[in-house]
């Protein structure tokens, strides 16, 4: 028993939605494309879950944030998929894959075969149990990866209003959830092992700015330690506020047997005991590669692809969080966990599948962003090398550059205008040579602005070599390539900024 399709997208998240739109724009026939997702809803803009979805007033709810509203494009509702003849197989988990036979086996026992497969399985939240702590099944312990998680988080948050939340983890999820909890009138303590928040991206100075703002909003930080265990109550959260050892053991045994229990306290490795009405866990993600281990080449924890997003099997492509792809700008393979990369890699894979002759290698400028309270930052490129801070850290606009091997490779900006974000994106893409970092520090944001304003001649076609004099042609050809590069960089920067602007809504 089974069905056959020309194209199958495995996974129904951000990348799947953007790939579907690209397929229809390039022209597919009805019943050629199938999307299989374990989630019960059509693809949606996942970043909305930690932002608009958690607002106390007028929160975002589906169908308002189905892809591709994050880039101000069509909103792909279930009706849209139906009208375009795309088979949406929802609430269906694929439990095994055979890339040699080109088949997927679903948990419902159906075999779905394909000619071309796009893997868009994204990632899952890391669980506390993977770090030796039990308690993920407690009623008031929340993760945040999908709509079900977000709905649960909202319910727990509403019942904890005026109470205490402990947020485990100081990354994206931790920071965005902490801000939402504060807005929902829950007292927040953040716990993480690093010396400062957003340790993978922020410098201590940048982190200090955000931590000070959070502190002013009442958030407490406990750094340099980790969660060691929970104290739990299996009888309901208000029945017993503290449990003795015996009750604790009974509660834990109950939870092992499937009886729900409630966390009452968070115990840290340094011995601190934090009373908690709820806990939010944001300790990282793990790409969903397991179906393909032993069948496809893996790298950097993801499925390795080439510049066309094609895996080690020519009929299989991988996109989004699960894909490890060559980032031309850095000259190395990276796996990114950001929405912009999911959207663009998905579109690129479809272009490479449908129009291979006209599709070059994916040339991507990494772009991350976040919004918390009234703040908003954007980052482009890579955060390696020497750090040069600029701007007014006691005000509202500041940033940093990263200079590696004499070139600007990364730029961060908080509180920028449209033109300023556009400028840092463009400057980063161009990787200008930095001779004097002290001068870069003095110039600050105006450096990126001046790079972005440098005159750029209109692109011209390369001269045709009539007499084959390659020496004569070297210069103009180089100049054209450079110009075209600048123009491409500028349009990529503008596009990236535009994406960023649109995503502010979500």
The residues binding ligand FAD (CB under 6 A) are: 11-16, 36-39, 46-47, 49-50, 93-94, 120-123, 144-145, 173, 288, 291, 320-322, 337-340, 342, 368-370
The contacts of residue 31 (CB under 8 Å, 6+ apart) are 5, 85, 87
DSSP 8-state secondary structure symbol assigned to residue 433: B
Q: Return the number of the residue (410 or 444) whose C-beta is nearest ligand FAD.
A: 410
Angle, CA 158 vertex, CA 41 and CA 264 arms, to 5°: 110
Angle, CA 106 vertex, CA 100 and CA 112 arms, to 5°: 50
Shortest Cβ distance from residue 260 to ligand FAD (Å)? Answer: 23
Q: Return the number of the residue (144 or 154) whose C-beta is nearest ligand FAD.
A: 144
Name residue, tokens 């790298």.
Answer: 299
N-to-C CA span, the chain: 41
Partners of 348 in the β-ladder: none
Shortest Cβ distance from residue 440 to ligand FAD (Å)? Answer: 27
Shortest Cβ distance from residue 110 to ligand FAD (Å)? Answer: 12
Q: In angstroms, rounded to a whole number, what is the distance separating the alpha carbons of residues 219 and 46?
A: 25
Shortest Cβ distance from residue 122 to ligand FAD (Å)? Answer: 2
- Strand 302-304 and strand 298-299: the pairing is antiparallel
Element (H, E) at 271: none
Q: How far is CA 208 from the centre of its chain?
A: 23
Q: In angstroms, rounded to a whole number, what is the distance separating the alpha carbons of residues 260 and 335?
A: 36
Shortest Cβ distance from residue 451 to ligand FAD (Å)? Answer: 24
Shortest Cβ distance from residue 379 to ligand FAD (Å)? Answer: 10
With CB atoms as reference, the residue minimizing the distance to ligand FAD is 13
Q: In angstroms, rounded to a whole number, what is the distance separating the alpha carbons of residues 498 and 358?
A: 25
Whether the CB-CB separation of 75 and 503 falls below 8 Å is answered with no
Shortest Cβ distance from residue 175 to ligand FAD (Å)? Answer: 10
Q: Return the number of the residue (233 or 321) whose C-beta is nearest ligand FAD.
A: 321
Q: Return the number of the residue (146 or 234) whose C-beta is nearest ligand FAD.
A: 146
Q: In angstroms, rounded to a whole number, what is the distance separating the alpha carbons of residues 389 and 384?
A: 14
Q: Return the number of the residue (80 or 447) whose C-beta is nearest ligand FAD.
A: 80
Q: Return the number of the residue (234 or 311) whose C-beta is nearest ligand FAD.
A: 311
- Ranges of H-type helices in 136-186: 147-159, 172-183
Rg (CA), the chain: 25
Residue 332 is encoded by which pair of tokens?
A: 């190395």
Q: In angstroms, rounded to a whole number, what is the distance separating the alpha carbons of residues 314 and 353?
A: 10
Shortest Cβ distance from residue 82 to ligand FAD (Å)? Answer: 19
Q: In angstroms, rounded to a whole number, what is the distance separating the alpha carbons of residues 41 and 43?
A: 7
Q: In terms of Cα–Cα distance, which of 114, 117, 85 is closest to 2? A: 114
Shortest Cβ distance from residue 204 to ligand FAD (Å)? Answer: 22
Q: Return the number of the residue (13 or 432) whose C-beta is nearest ligand FAD.
A: 13
Residue 131 is encoded by which pair of tokens?
A: 């770090």
Shortest Cβ distance from residue 478 to ligand FAD (Å)? Answer: 35
Q: Return the number of the residue (198 or 388) whose C-beta is nearest ligand FAD.
A: 198
Q: Return the number of the residue (47 or 170) whose C-beta is nearest ligand FAD.
A: 47
Q: Return the number of the residue (54 or 440) whose C-beta is nearest ligand FAD.
A: 54
Shortest Cβ distance from residue 337 to ligand FAD (Å)? Answer: 5
Shortest Cβ distance from residue 322 to ligand FAD (Å)? Answer: 6
Whether the CB-CB separation of 135 and 260 falls below 8 Å is answered with no
Q: Kindly give the interhelix angle for 470-503 and 339-354, rounded to the nearest 10 degrees.
A: 130
CB atoms within 10 A of CB 102: 18
Burial code (b: 16+ CB inside 10 Å, e: under 16) for 46-80 equals bbbbbbbbbeeeeebeeebbbbbbbbeeebbeeeb
Q: Return the number of the residue (179 or 489) whose C-beta is nearest ligand FAD.
A: 179
Residue 342 is encoded by which pair of tokens?
A: 């999911």
Shortest Cβ distance from residue 447 to ligand FAD (Å)? Answer: 25
Q: Return the number of the residue (230 or 379) whose C-beta is nearest ligand FAD.
A: 379
Q: Return the number of the residue (121 or 189) whose C-beta is nearest ligand FAD.
A: 121
């Amino acid at each position: 028993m089974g069905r056959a399709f020309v194209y199958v997208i495995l996974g129904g998240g951000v990348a799947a939605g953007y790939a579907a739109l690209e397929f229809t724009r390039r022209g597919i026939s009805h019943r050629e494309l199938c999307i299989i997702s374990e989630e019960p809803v059509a693809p949606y803009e996942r970043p909305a879950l930690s932002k608009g979805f958690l607002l106390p007033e007028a929160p975002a709810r589906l169908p308002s944030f189905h892809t591709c509203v994050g880039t101000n494009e069509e909103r792909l509702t279930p009706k849209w998929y139906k009208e375009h003849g795309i088979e949406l197989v929802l609430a269906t988990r694929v439990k095994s894959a055979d890339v040699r036979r080109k088949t997927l086996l679903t948990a419902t026992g159906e075999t779905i075969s394909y000619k071309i497969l796009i893997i868009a399985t994204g990632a899952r939240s890391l669980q506390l149990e993977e770090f030796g702590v039990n308690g993920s099944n407690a009623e008031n312990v929340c993760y945040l990866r999908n709509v079900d998680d977000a709905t649960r988080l909202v319910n727990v948050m509403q019942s904890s209003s005026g109470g205490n939340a402990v947020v485990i983890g100081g990354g994206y999820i931790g920071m965005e959830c902490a801000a939402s909890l504060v807005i929902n009138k829950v007292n927040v303590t953040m716990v993480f092992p690093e010396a400062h928040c957003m340790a993978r991206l922020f410098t201590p100075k940048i982190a200090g700015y955000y931590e000070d703002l959070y502190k002013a909003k009442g958030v407490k930080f406990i750094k340099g330690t980790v969660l060691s265990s929970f104290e739990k109550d299996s009888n309901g959260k208000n029945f017993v506020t503290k449990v003795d050892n015996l009750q604790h053991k009974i509660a834990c045994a109950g939870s092992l047997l499937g009886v729900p229990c409630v966390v009452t306290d968070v115990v840290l490795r340094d011995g601190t005991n934090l009373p908690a009405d709820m806990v939010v866990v944001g300790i990282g993600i793990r790409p969903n590669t397991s179906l393909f281990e032993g069948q496809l080449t893996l790298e950097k924890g993801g499925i390795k692809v080439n510049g066309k997003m094609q895996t080690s099997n020519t009929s299989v492509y991988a996109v989004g969080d699960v894909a490890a792809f060559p980032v031309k700008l850095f000259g190395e393979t990276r796996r990114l966990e950001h929405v912009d990369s999911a959207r663009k890699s998905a579109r690129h894979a479809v272009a490479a599948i449908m129009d291979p002759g006209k599709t070059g290698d994916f040339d991507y400028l990494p772009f991350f962003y976040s919004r918390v309270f009234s703040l908003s930052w954007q980052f482009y490129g890579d955060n390696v090398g020497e750090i040069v801070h600029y701007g007014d850290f006691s005000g509202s606009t500041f940033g940093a550059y990263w200079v590696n091997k004499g070139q600007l490779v990364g730029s961060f900006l908080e509180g920028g205008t449209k033109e300023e974000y556009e400028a840092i994106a463009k400057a980063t893409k161009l990787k200008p040579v930095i001779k004097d970092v002290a001068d870069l520090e003095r110039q600050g944001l105006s450096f990126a602005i001046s790079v972005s304003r440098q005159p750029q001649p209109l692109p011209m076609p390369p001269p045709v070599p009539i007499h084959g004099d390659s020496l004569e042609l070297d210069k103009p050809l180089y100049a054209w390539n450079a110009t075209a590069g600048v123009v491409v960089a500028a349009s990529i920067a503008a596009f990236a900024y535009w994406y960023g602007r649109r995503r502010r809504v979500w």
